[in-house]
Amino acid sequence: MNDKAKIIKVRKNAQGDITDVMLNDGNVYSVNDAVALAKDHKIEGINVGQAKNGREYLRSNPNDIQSDNLDNLPVF
Residue 2 lies inside a defined structural domain of this protein = no
> In which domain, by residue range, is 23 found?
7-61
Place 3 in a pLDDT band, splitting at 50, 70 and 90.
confident
25-34, pLDDT tens digit by residue?
999 999 999 9
> Count of CB atoms within 10 A of residue 16's CB?
7
66 belongs to a structural domain: no
- pLDDT tens by residue, 33-64: 999 999 999 999 999 999 999 999 999 998 88
Whether 20 is covered by a domain: the verdict is yes
Residue 73 falls inside a structural domain: no
Examine the pLDDT at 1 and tell me if it is beyond 70.
no
Distance, CA of 59 to CA of 50 (rounded, Å): 10
Is residue 32 domain-resident? yes
Band (2; pLDDT cuts 50, 70, 90): low
What per-residue confidence (pLDDT) applies to 54? 95
